[in-house]
Amino acid sequence: MQKILKIKNLDISFNIEGELYKAVHNINISLSKNQVLGIVGESGCGKSVTAMSVLKLLASNAVIESGEILFKGQNLLTLSTKQLQEIRGSKIAFIPQDPLNSLNPLYTAGDQLMETIIFHRHVSKKEAKKLAIEALKDVKIPEAENRLNEYPHQFSGGMCQRVLIAMALSCDPEIIIADEPTTALDVTVQAQILDLIRKIQKERQTSLIFITHDLGVVAEFCDYIAVMYSGRVVEYADVKSIFKNPLHPYTKGLLDSLPSQEKKELNVIKGQPPAITDKTTGCVFHPRCSCRMDICDKIIPEKTEPASEHSVSCHLYN
């Protein structure tokens, strides 16, 4: 299958009071055409940092120390700001996690949607308005022509998220990055938004990177999963392999913590993930791991591939 995006040996640090602290360690993941890749893990594990690095939308104190991000063979990290602006939105689009704070309250939904269309598709204002109305209809916003003239505060959270999805889709991108797009929404609206994203992705055959901490969503939504812990991908495989045969103790812990009718109480992974400023040696998961061995305290495990297209970084398999 053709790889449309490759992240190779990516290292990202943050400058905190003059000292660099590593947030992302040697990330290697890829995305094929028409594929949905889920990136899962606890808060602070580096999911969003990894995804935001694709379009260099990182905080001002972030430093990309090494690696490549190849989009159809072109290294995005070497492009100028102007060159990246041509790709952002038109080739690779982004759906943020907080819809209410992601739209400018001073401009109508139509103004913001049309600005994106005019910039990337180089059409007249009249044509942009027509395309904007079509985009709102595509995401099932009723009375799209009238709502084009409304401000973000006149939309519910779910409708704001639909506007952001319309903006992401308006230029027919090849890749969409969705960063926990349902976090700020209630459960019913979450389901509607997820169904909408999945339906559009299938219809348009768009590649999708879906960032979440919800394994239930991943099971139904994704083709492949990258499990991240403390800035590292600790396991990578297709969704069936992850759920039927998880290899890394952290992945097993995440799956064991899912609720089910058989469980009287939820299992938990004891302890807390390390902070970015913590200095750890060996495997970063070893303080919380039930399978801990002496070697885990001292040596970082190398990535191995016990099964085809199923990789894991754990001393149990070295």
Residue 27 lies in a domain: yes
| Total domain count, the chain | 1
CB 205 within 8 A of CB 34: yes
240-276: pLDDT as tens digits: 999 999 999 999 999 988 887 777 777 889 889 998 8
pLDDT of residue 295: 95
Residue 140 lies in a domain: no
Residue 31 lies in a domain: yes
Beta bridge partners of 224: 37, 238
CATH of the domain at 41: 3.40.50.300
Residue 157 lies in a domain: no
pLDDT of residue 280: 82
- Residue 279 is encoded by which pair of tokens? 């200095």
Residue 189 predicted with pLDDT over 90: no
Percent of the chain with pLDDT over 90: 68
Q: From residue 39, how far is each of 72, 75, 159, 193, 217 by CA, in Å?
A: 21, 21, 25, 18, 11
Residue 285 lies in a domain: yes
- Residue 276 is encoded by which pair of tokens? 């970015």
**Reported confidence tier of residue 47, pLDDT bands at 50, 70, 90:** very high
pLDDT of residue 114: 95
- For the stretch 102-105, contacts whose Cβ atoms lie closer than 8 Å and that sit 24 or more positions apart, written own/partner, are 102/160, 102/164, 103/152, 103/160, 103/163, 103/164, 104/152, 105/151, 105/152, 105/153
pLDDT of residue 302: 93
- Taking the C-alpha atoms of residue 295 and residue 104, their distance in angstroms, rounded to an integer, is 52
Domain that holds residue 270: 3-81+223-317
Q: What is the pTM of this model?
A: 0.92
What is the mean predicted confidence (pLDDT) over 304-309?
A: 88
pLDDT of residue 265: 77
5-18: pLDDT as tens digits: 999 999 999 999 99
CB 23 within 8 A of CB 276: yes
- Is the CA virtual torsion 49, 11, 74, 307 positive or negative? negative
Residue 280 lies in a domain: yes
- Taking the C-alpha atoms of residue 308 and residue 295, their distance in angstroms, rounded to an integer, is 26
